[in-house]
Amino acid sequence: MKDTLNVMMLSWEFPPRVIGGISPHMYFLSKSLAKNGVKVHVVTCDFPGAPTNEVIDGVEVHRIDSYKNPSPDFATWVYLMNLNMQKEAAAIVARLPEKIDVFHAHDWLVATASIGLKHVFRKPLLATMHSTEIGRRDGLHTNTERMIHETEGWLTYEAWRVICCSDYMVQHVKWAFGLPHDKLVMVPNGVNPHVYDDLEKQDLKAFRSKYALPEEKIVLYVGRLVYEKGIHVLINAVPKVLEKVNAKFVIVGTGYMKEQLANIVKSMGLEHKVLFTGFEEEANVLKLQKIADVAVVPSLFEPFGIVALEAMAAKSPVVVSDTGGLSEIVDHEYTGMKAYANDTESLAWAITKVLLDENLRRRIQENAYKKILEKYDWNKIAQQTRQTYEGVIGEYSKSFWA
């Protein structure tokens, strides 16, 4: 196997463009691959103020114009963005002194461009499925949802291997698209615990006072305010937690449920106990994760649960729904607490237990941090990903397609 592999990754988001979990995943994976002898070209959408081309720690980032054509709706925008992405990426590949060995697509949003490149250059395609439409929506109810599902199915069919970030997701993707088991590979998501190192030394009292009173425990939620993230379950658990603990619920993020959730809080007369911060800069999110007395991830559907890993890396005790990838990350009462999914009583019980039991809190903080270093290290994840590339290139080189 050659020393340097040349990979082109495609994604609709990459920092500073951050929409969900794909962006940090791409950022840390590509940089860690570069340290492990993989030459990575990232092709992604443009972002105001971000350069068209730049090199970040050995990763070549190419941002393409994604708003060239006016679009009446999101689905049309995705289709036109893909056409332009394929054209621009093909031009980049043609200019490179070294040949691309593998194309690697991240989710359905870049499926059309990735599949096009695979056939134009006759090189293997890998796909990482970060989520599925049928899982996010708990079924398929509209034509747009069916279109996204069919696009995901097409991408998994065209891919030589499909990478999933949890064992749960491997089974889910296998079921959703009828895939053979040997086409699926589990490579976990990762987290960078060192982003919290400097915060250990800082006095965060003044920062904390912006969010809660000194006597209030901070219950932190970071994520989109959408149904599948279970934020409504947490909001409904607020009065039950407050019966036993003086706490402040800090809700970070935006989403279509924000107004509805604010109305529920208002109707309960608990506006002084629940703070909707909206979007927060990354530096503030890191500090909040550091000062939180408990971080809650109450998802109904969760392929992985990166926000739980981040909290564990920040040494903040976590309470999660016993569902999806979260079930694999957290060992109950050892690295965190699990609550039944979509169960207000269970969630309130788990949060209260963490806030009231000092020994439990300390134990899960220590064990969780140890697990982060052992299993969710980006360098190890990059090595697993490189091995997957090498396996695919080996099979490809013996195939009629090469």
Residues 236-290: pLDDT tens digits? 999 999 999 999 999 999 999 999 999 999 999 999 999 999 988 888 999 999 9
Nearest to 127 by CA among 101, 102, 90, 99: 102
pLDDT at 1 over 60: no
Domains 5-190+377-397 and 193-375 equal at CATH topology level: yes
Give the residue-averaged pLDDT of 112-125.
97
Fold of 5-190+377-397: Rossmann fold (3.40.50)
What's the pTM value of the predicted model, to 2 decimals? 0.83
Output 147 or 135, whichever has higher pLDDT: 147
Q: What share of the chain is helix, strand, coil (3-state, %, to 5)?
A: 50, 15, 35
In the chain, what are the domain boundaries? 5-190+377-397, 193-375
Q: Each residue of 189-231: pLDDT tens digit?
A: 888 888 898 887 788 999 999 999 999 999 999 999 999 899 9
Q: Each residue of 32-61: pLDDT tens digit?
A: 999 999 999 999 999 999 999 999 999 999
Assigned token pair, 168: 């749960």
CA angle 389, 42, 171 (to 5 degrees): 50
Give the residue-averaged pLDDT of 329-344.
95
Given the candidates 3.40.50.2000, 3.40.718.10, 3.50.50.60, 3.30.420.40, the CATH classification of the domain at 193-375 is: 3.40.50.2000
Give the residue-averaged pLDDT of 175-188.
95
Residue whose entry in the numeric block shows the structure tokens 């589990």: 186
**Residue 336 DSSP code:** B
Which amino acid is residue 163, in one-letter code? I
Q: Write out the DSSP string of 298-315.
A: --SS-SS-HHHHHHHHTT
